[in-house]
């Protein structure tokens, strides 16, 4: 495992692991090839808390490749998990890197007609030209081991790239699986088969869990999953008849939603489908936080969305928000209303910064994932609901039988405008009428 841009000084057990290194040198024929790893620095916020220090990719890679060059290594591959855009930046800004093999963004690259339904986001390889004119191939091979990356390169004796060719290979039924792998999988096949046969509900609509949809705006699958969190708490608190629930708000970050569900011919949703969507098996937690803290969390979601941090954007239940992403950081939410909990008939009310609100979140968010804070520093009140996120979804599906979640303007994005400009905001038709009046009667 290679990663040049992490510091393990505060994680001694990881630091002692000899299989975790900054770079590796392999030998092919009579040539030595260096492989330098990298990972996106915001992994700190995207994973469960740890003391690992993450550094910026480019300077860390350049520091490591210099060491390899000093050892006489003249062919260097950067292998990483930071996304297609960062891969291309590394190809351009890291002078010693000859090839970039990337991941994380699940980018499908292909030259010519694609062999399956994926739409190519660029040629394979994508060629980036360094400031000195050298060409660097950048490749990714989508996701889910659907394709095998395949790139052939020719170098001269000085480590200069002469030629390259290749194309991802679709791993379809033309390929015979290895017997030993099949035998190993067979040990667990029954469990998977049972999950694939176990129908837990039915959908009459497409459940959109696409990262680009859920990561930038409200998506119907995100709505449904967050609703299932609230429902799980309602079921748990049924014995307390003082209110319909103590947590009317449910939140999940877009990065936790890993797939969509197509209704197909029958609309059947299996347990295996739900596990594919929510593979991390996170515990759900009830937490009680102030209105002020809730507003800060939602502003953080707006800020991350504006930074194109698609995994951090929150999908919500029990909230109605209005955003204006042209406004300054910390001021992008123009309206927040929350579903009341201590009321006989649930309805939406403006969030009171001094009030307190019960919220259901995943363990990832509760523990500070994506930079969020959902534990009240003054009056911490947290309870493990002892139910996994996917089990909450399954429970909701089983008890509601057929679902058809919609987009409901839970997160309404307002039109951009010039803030504090001093000008009146006029409707376009009114402006046209005014201009016509000036031309007709004043000219």
pLDDT per position as a tens digit, 316-346: 999 999 989 889 989 999 999 999 999 999 9
pLDDT at 242: 82
* Band of pLDDT at residue 99, cut at 50, 70 and 90: very high
Tally of CB atoms within 10 A around 41:
18
Tell me what the mean pLDDT of segment 43-66 comes to. 90
If you average pLDDT over residues 173-189, what whole number do you get?
93
Region of poorest pLDDT, from 103-112, 268-277, 287-296, 409-418: 409-418
Confidence label for 442 from pLDDT (cuts 50, 70 and 90) = very low
pLDDT at residue number 46: 75
For the CA atoms of the chain, what is the radius of gyration? Answer: 26
Rounded Cα–Cα distance for residues 376 and 288 (Å): 7
pLDDT in tens, 362-397: 999 999 988 899 999 988 999 999 999 999 999 999
Q: How confident is the model at residue 163 (pLDDT cuts 50, 70, 90)?
A: very high
The sheet with strand 199-203 has its strands ordered as: 268-270, 199-203, 402-403
Q: Residues of the chain with pLDDT > 70: what percent?
A: 92
Starting from the edge strand earliest in sequence, which strands make up the sheet with 356-362, in order? 314-317, 249-253, 356-362, 283-290, 382-388
CA atoms of 346 and 247, how far apart (whole Å):
12
Query: Structure tokens of 44?
Result: 């700190």
What average pLDDT does this structure show over 14-35? Answer: 94
> Which tens digit of pLDDT belongs to each residue from 406-431?
999 999 988 654 333 333 334 444 44
Crossing angle between the packed helical segments 389-400 and 220-236, to the nearest 10 degrees: 90
40 within 8 A of 83, measured Cβ to Cβ: yes
Q: Check: CB of residue 342 under 8 Å from CB of residue 243.
A: yes
The model's confidence at residue 10, banded by pLDDT at 50, 70 and 90, is very high
Specify the pTM: 0.76
Q: What is the DSSP string of 240-294?
A: -TTSS-S--EEEEEGGG----B--TTT-EEEHHHHHHHSTT-PEEEEEEEEHHHH
pLDDT at 352: 96
Residue 164 pLDDT grade (very low, low, confident, very high; cuts 50, 70, 90): very high
What distance in Å separates the CA atoms of residue 219 and residue 210, rounded to the nearest whole number? 8
List, in sequence order, every beta strand (DSSP E) within 73-215: 76-81, 99-101, 126-129, 135-139, 147-148, 151-155, 161-166, 169-170, 199-203
Residue 420's contacts (CB-CB under 8 Å, 6 or more residues apart) are none
Task: Tell me: pLDDT of 47 over 90.
Answer: no
* pLDDT, tens digit, 9 for 90 and up, residues 67-95: 999 999 999 999 999 999 999 999 999 99
All domains in the chain, ordered by first residue = 6-170 (3.60.21.10), 206-413 (3.90.780.10)
For residue 333, the cross-strand partners are 323
Render pLDDT for 185-205 as a digit per residue (tens, 0 to 9): 999 999 999 999 999 999 999
SS3 137: strand
Poorest-confidence range of 76-80, 235-239, 281-285?
235-239
Output the DSSP codes for 48-109: S----EE--HHHHHHHHHHHHHHTT---EEEEEES-HHHHHHHHHH-TT--EEE--SS--B-
Place 309 in a pLDDT band, splitting at 50, 70 and 90: low
Given pLDDT bands bounded at 50, 70 and 90, which one contains residue 127? very high
CA distance 140 to 151: 10
β-partners of residue 322 are 335, 412
């Amino acid at each position: 495992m290679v990663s040049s841009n992490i510091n393990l000084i505060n994680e001694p057990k990881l630091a002692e692991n000899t299989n975790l290194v900054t770079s590796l040198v392999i030998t092919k024929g009579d040539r030595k090839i260096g492989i330098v790893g990298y990972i996106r620095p915001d992994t700190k916020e995207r994973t469960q808390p740890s003391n690992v220090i993450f550094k910026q990719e480019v300077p860390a890679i350049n520091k490591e490749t210099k060491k390899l060059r000093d050892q006489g290594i003249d062919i260097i591959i950067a292998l990483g998990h930071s996304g297609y855009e960062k891969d291309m930046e590394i190809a351009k800004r890291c002078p010693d890197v000859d090839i970039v093999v990337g991941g994380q963004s699940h980018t499908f690259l292909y030259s010519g007609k694609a062999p399956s339904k994926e739409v190519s986001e660029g040629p394979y390889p994508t060629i980036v030209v360094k400031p000195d004119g050298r060409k660097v191939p950048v490749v990714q091979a989508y996701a889910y081991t659907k394709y095998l990356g395949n790139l052939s390169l020719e170098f001269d004796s000085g480590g200069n790239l002469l030629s390259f060719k290749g194309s991802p290979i679709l791993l379809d039924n033309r390929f015979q699986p290895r017997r030993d792998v099949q035998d190993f999988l067979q040990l667990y096949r029954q469990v998977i088969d049972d999950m694939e046969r176990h129908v837990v509900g039915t959908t009459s609509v497409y459940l959109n869990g696409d990262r680009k949809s859920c990561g930038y705006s409200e998506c119907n699958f995100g709505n449904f999953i967050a609703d299932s969190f609230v429902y799980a708490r309602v079921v748990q608190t049924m014995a307390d008849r003082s209110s319909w629930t103590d947590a009317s708000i449910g939140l999940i970050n877009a990065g936790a939603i890993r797939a969509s569900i197509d209704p197909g011919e029958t609309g059947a949703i299996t347990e295996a489908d739900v596990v594919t969507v929510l593979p991390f098996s996170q515990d759900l937690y009830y937490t009680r936080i102030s209105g002020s803290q809730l507003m800060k969390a939602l502003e953080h979601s707006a800020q991350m969305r504006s930074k194109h941090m698609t995994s951090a954007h929150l999908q919500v239940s029990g909230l109605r928000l209005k955003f204006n992403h042209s406004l300054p950081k910390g001021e992008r939410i123009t309206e927040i209303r929350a579903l009341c909990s201590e009321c006989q008939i649930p309805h939406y009310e403006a969030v009171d910064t001094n009030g307190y609100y019960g919220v259901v979140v995943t363990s990832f968010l509760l523990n500070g994932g994506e930079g969020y804070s959902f534990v009240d520093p003054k009056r911490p009140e947290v309870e493990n609901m002892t139910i996994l996120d996917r089990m909450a979804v399954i429970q909701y599906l089983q008890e509601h039988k057929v679902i058809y979640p919609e987009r409901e303007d839970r997160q309404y994005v307002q039109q951009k405008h010039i803030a504090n400009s001093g000008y009146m905001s006029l409707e376009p038709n009114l402006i046209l009428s005014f201009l016509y009046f000036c031309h007709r009667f004043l000219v």
